[in-house]
Amino acid sequence: MNTKAFGVKLENQVYIRREGVYGISFSDDNKVALVKVPYGYFLPGGGIEDDEDHESCLKREFMEEIGQAIKLIRFVGCLSQYTFSHKTKRYIELVGYFYIVEIKGSVGGKVEDDHELEWRDIKDVPQIMNLEYQAHIIIEAYDEFG
């Protein structure tokens, strides 16, 4: 896997660096686990808090977002994307660390009511993902590990 950057970095803007950890889980029927929120599709995962390591962050995010326990299988790669956040009204550099994970089952404890787990066909990924770097890593990971 590479460390390619997506998006356009505007020279006259200051970017806030935001690191996150994301899990990629494939089913036997060519589908990938995604989180559907009112404004689109994303990989399960999110920002690293305080002194969390990648595994702790990812396990917490899967529980909070979709109420699922996971097992980390392997590191896939690190990609970044320059973008503008309409939510925070700031320019951000998203830095994602991506892992293949196995979803072990429901554990309850979901706290984000507007997040739903959806299994989507791999062929739909380029059209439905909100972030290009996540779509790219899903396709790369599927080609290599799916």
Encode pLDDT of 23-48 as tens digits. Answer: 999 999 999 999 999 989 999 999 99
103, two tokens? 């979803």
Place of tokens 């320059």: 82
In the beta sheet, which residues pair with residue 100?
24, 74
**Residue 1 pLDDT greater than 80, yes or no:** no
**Residue 111 pLDDT greater than 90, yes or no:** no
User: Which of 49-53, 59-63, 65-69, 105-109 is predicted least confidently?
Assistant: 105-109
User: Residue 3's pLDDT band (boundaries 50, 70, 90)?
Assistant: low
Q: Is the pTM of this model over 0.75?
A: yes
**Residue 2 pLDDT greater than 60, yes or no:** no
- Give SS3 for 132: helix
Average pLDDT, the chain: 94
- Give SS3 for 142: helix
Give the C-alpha distances (Å, rounded to integers) separating 59 from 21, 25, 69, 90: 10, 13, 7, 28
Q: What topology does CATH give the domain 5-145?
A: Nucleoside Triphosphate Pyrophosphohydrolase (3.90.79)
